[in-house]
Structure formats: C-alpha cells, structure tokens
Amino acid sequence: MSALLLPGVVVVGTRVGLPVLAMATLRLSSSSSSSFFAYQQQKVGLTAAQRPPSSFPSPSPPLVVCSIPDRHHLPSSPSSGEASSGRISLGFCTRQSSGFCTRQQSWNRKLAVVAAAASVVEVGGGGSSSTISREEVVREDDPTNNVPDTVFGKIGLQLHNRENHPLGILKNAIYSYFDETFPGVFHKVDNLLPIVSVKANFDDVLTPPDHVSRSYNDTYYVSADTVLRCHTSAHQAELLRQGLTHFLVTGDVYRRDAIDATHYPVFHQMEGLRLFTQQEWEAAGMDGTALAAQELKKTLEGLARHLFGDVQMRWVDTYFPFTDPSYELEIFFQGKWMEVLGCGVTQQQILCNNGCAGTTAWAFGLGLERLAMVLFDIPDIRLFWSNDSRFTSQFKSGQLGTKFKSFSKYPPCYKDISFWISEEFSENNLCEIVRGIAGDLVEEVVLIDEFTNPKKGKTSHCYRIAYRSMERSLTDEEINALQAEVRQQVESKLKITLR
Ligand code: DAH
C-alpha cells in the first residue's frame, strides 16, 4: 500500500528491513549515482568558461564554444557550489564520433582486457581482439583531450565481470532478479567499449547542448567528438537500433570528480530498458505511458527488495533529459533515505529516432559501487580497485551482502595547501593533479578555508589533502615528496599563486 508523504514522494512498503550495517558513512553522492543527470532544469546551462574548447564540433543546436589555453586550465563546473560546504565539486560527460566509430563497432563486440599496462590496453574476445594504445586515449598536447594516465590505466579492467568481486556479485544478483521475474526476456550486455561518441553519450539521449554534464570540467574527452562514457545510457540508442526490446547494460563509466571515500573517477553502472507495444497497453486497458510507469515502479520495487530485503521505499520526482516522467527510488536504510537509482518513462523522441516508433518504454540507471558499499559494508571506494588478497579473498560468487572486515587501518597523514585562485580555477582540475601524483594514496581533498581579500579582490583557498594507503604505512619522506610535487604542479599548471 502506498501513502503520500510529501509532494512528489510516495512511500511504498512499511517496514524497515535488513539489519543496520556498520558502514562508516552514507555520504553517497554523485559518483556511482545519477545526480549529475538529475540536475534540475533551471540549473542547466554552461557559462562560456565551462564549455568544451572551440575545436569541438557543434551538436545541433550549436554549442557556444570557447577556447582553453591548455588541458589543465579547464573550466569549473556549476556544481562547484558544493565547495562552500567543504566538499569538492565533481563532474563528467560523454560524446561519440568519427575516428573511433569504425573501430568502435568491432570493439563493441567483445571487450576483454588482456593487459591494462601503462602503454597499451588489449581488448577483444570472441575471435576478434583489438589494441588501444595510450596515445589514442591520452594526448597531452591536444587541447580537446583531458584524459590522464591514471584513468587510461583503468580502461578494460572490467571489475563488474569478475565473479568473486563485489561488483560482479552485485551485477549477477541483479541479473538473477530479472531472470527470475522475466525468465529469458532480458538481454544482458557487459562488454561494450567505454570510448563512445559525443552523439551517443549526449545527443542520442537528448542531453541539452548547454547541460552541465557536457562540460569539459566534468567529462573525459578523448577528442572533440569522443568521450569516455559518463553513463551507460550512452548505449540506449545503439541497442534500440539493434532491435533489442528488453536489455541490461553494465559497464565502467568515467567522470571528472572530487576525491573522497565515495568518489572515484571511474565507477560502474547498470542501465535497464524495456519496451511496450500498443497491444500490451491496450490489453492492460491503459495508455502506453501509464503502463510503462506502472511496470517500472513494480519492477524496480521488486529489485530493491531482492537486494535490500523488505525496506521502506519512496519515489521522488526528478528530472532527466531522457525520461518523462522521471523518478529516483529511495530506500530507508541505516536511519536515512538513500537514493538507489534513477529512472523514468523514456522520451518518445528517443524511441522514434531509433526505430521504435509506436512503442513506450521504461528505463533505469544505477551505480554499482554506491549499492555495493552499503550491501558489503565497504567503507572506501578505492577498495574496489585493490588487488590485496585481504580484500579480494573476502568475497565469493553468489554471496551478496558478505560484510567486509576491515584489515588494519593505517594512519592518514594530512597536508594543507593554500593559494590565491584565478577565475579559471576548478577543483576537479586540482583533484586530477593530486590523483595523477599520489594515485590511490590520496584519500580525500577537502576545502577547509576560503576567504576573499576585499582590497586585493583575490580569493584564497586552503585544501587539506589526506594521504593514506589501504595496504601499508606511508613514510614521512614519501608523503613530503608527494606534497612537494603537488605544490610544484599545482603552481605550474593551475595558474594559481601559492601562499
Ligand atoms: N544516466 C543517468 C545518470 O548516470 C541514470 C539514469 C537515470 C539512467 C534515468 C536512465 C534513466 O536510463 O531512465 O545519471
């Protein structure tokens, strides 16, 4: 039975299920979530400084573009308002296109990484394999490219396809739900290449030309018309065109972002879509949109119960460019409402543009890390990438919800850095530099102080960087060397003045 709680919020179910997990934090925000695309319409709109560089091709309607001096002086995101609360803003994007298109088709057949070495990633399977070189993805002298080596190194690792990994276990648990509820109906795809066109990532799912997600600050652009997908929705149109009517797509997605326990520039999503025919909605005595919305809610409430037990749920109205109406499903968990996924009734234009006129559909997208952190009690998103057997040996195929037992936590070391910012300063760019130097040894970057000197008209930021290894103690010497390199690169690449 459902009861209206707040405008736009319907509570479904009445009992709080699963035992409360002892997770360190429920600060689950945009990484692995849909909040980027759930931006309210009135917040949509890039300033000139946030748009991709001028050499980027214009989608239709054309983008107003600007030039950028080099890949480190990237524009900031509108979401940087979060910085005032001490958190660093995040971002991401997508695109599709030319040079990659031909190879994309063959790459899309199978993506099985043989090696994620520093210079080459081999992808392939099913008789065809291909190699992506670092030079194709990381081009430091190309102003339309903003992919760092740290991100290139993740392409093809496909954590979601490891059976004994929490992300693989969660993916398979979701598969089981769909297989039990709709036997033999949903087609599953989990090996598509993450390098997609801007068109696939944004235009095909009706992302407005000025939507924040297209910003160079928020998305990894491989070139002007190609991105590392920022969401698995990038594959909706292509799969519809292939004639699929019920599908689940899982993959790694990429967003320029903050650094903390729940944000990582690479994470994993699953997308689902189901079409309905006129025959189906007539048989149900409903119109097509009403049937899709009803089935969407029933299906996803069932999925949430399958994963979390008999939890209290609510539907929150939201905005996505690709759906109308659009919702987020929240569950009441560990004493808080937690977003589980974003979803809605697919825009007719997407269906018509991709050979599905005369149908309706529901679609959803969920972040695997966000859910896995809660289900397995994993306190830090970096752990998903760990090869430490003290982590990897704790999880077994089919065992959803095994609680992770922390191995000894090594002490963090904090270092502060203060500087006068320029207009072009962006926290995502700062984070990228820190991550480029310290890799997974950086746990968090937090804005701890900000003030403006009215006489000089200058603004100062002070960031606290937490260094901590999940696997060993760090020496003072090592941390001092990292911090010195951070200071040097921040000064030379970010047009700031160190204080
Ligand atoms: N692509 C969205 C995101 O990453 C998630 C999402 C929301 C996917 C609603 C959908 C959908 O298919 O209908 O933020």
How far apart are the CA of 495 and the centre of ligand 1, in A?
Answer: 35
pLDDT one-digit tens code per residue, 161-177: 999 999 999 999 999 99
For residue 344 and ligand 1, the question of a CB distance below 6 A is answered with yes
How far apart are the CA of 1 and the centre of ligand 1, in A?
Answer: 27
pTM over the 0.85 mark? no
How far apart are the CA of 342 and the centre of ligand 1, in A?
Answer: 5
pLDDT of residue 491: 96
Q: Which of 322, 349, 351 to mutate to test the pocket of ligand 1 (most atoms within 8 A of CB)?
A: 322
For residue 323 and ligand 1, the question of a CB distance below 6 A is answered with yes
How far apart are the CA of 186 and the centre of ligand 1, in A?
Answer: 18
Which residue CA neighbors atom 13 of ligand 1 most closely? 343
For residue 254 and ligand 1, the question of a CB distance below 6 A is answered with no
Which residue CA neighbors atom 6 of ligand 1 most closely? 365
pLDDT one-digit tens code per residue, 415-453: 999 999 999 999 999 999 999 999 999 999 999 999 999
Distances (CA, A) of 277 to 187, 237, 351, 358: 18, 18, 12, 7
For residue 362 and ligand 1, the question of a CB distance below 6 A is answered with no
For residue 333 and ligand 1, the question of a CB distance below 6 A is answered with no
User: What ligand 1 atom has the least distance to the C-alpha of 344?
Assistant: 13
Interstrand relation of 323-333 and 497-498 (parallel, antiparallel or unpaired): unpaired
Place of tokens 């952190």: 373
How far apart are the CA of 212 and the centre of ligand 1, in A?
Answer: 15
Contact status, residue 232 vs residue 131, Cβ threshold 8 Å: no
User: What ligand 1 atom has the least distance to the C-alpha of 233?
Assistant: 1
- pLDDT digit string (tens) for the chain, length 499 residues: 233 223 333 333 322 222 222 222 222 333 444 467 875 443 345 554 455 554 443 333 322 222 222 344 433 332 322 222 222 222 222 222 222 223 333 333 333 332 333 577 755 444 445 678 899 999 989 999 999 999 999 999 999 999 999 999 999 999 999 999 999 999 999 999 999 999 999 999 999 999 999 999 999 999 999 999 999 999 999 999 999 999 999 999 999 999 999 999 999 999 999 999 999 999 999 999 999 999 999 999 999 999 999 999 999 999 999 999 999 999 999 899 999 999 999 999 999 999 999 999 999 999 999 999 999 999 999 999 999 999 999 999 999 989 999 987 899 999 999 999 999 999 999 999 999 999 999 999 999 999 999 999 999 999 999 999 988 999 999 999 999 999 999 999 999 999 9
Which residue CA neighbors atom 14 of ligand 1 most closely? 34
Give me the amino acid identity at 496. I
How far apart are the CA of 205 and the centre of ligand 1, in A?
Answer: 10
pLDDT of residue 36: 74
User: What ligand 1 atom has the least distance to the C-alpha of 367?
Assistant: 4
Which residue CA neighbors atom 7 of ligand 1 most closely? 342
How far apart are the CA of 382 and the centre of ligand 1, in A?
Answer: 23
How far apart are the CA of 447 and the centre of ligand 1, in A?
Answer: 29
pLDDT of residue 325: 98
How far apart are the CA of 270 and the centre of ligand 1, in A?
Answer: 9
How far apart are the CA of 37 and the centre of ligand 1, in A?
Answer: 7
For residue 272 and ligand 1, the question of a CB distance below 6 A is answered with no
For residue 342 and ligand 1, the question of a CB distance below 6 A is answered with yes
For residue 364 and ligand 1, the question of a CB distance below 6 A is answered with yes
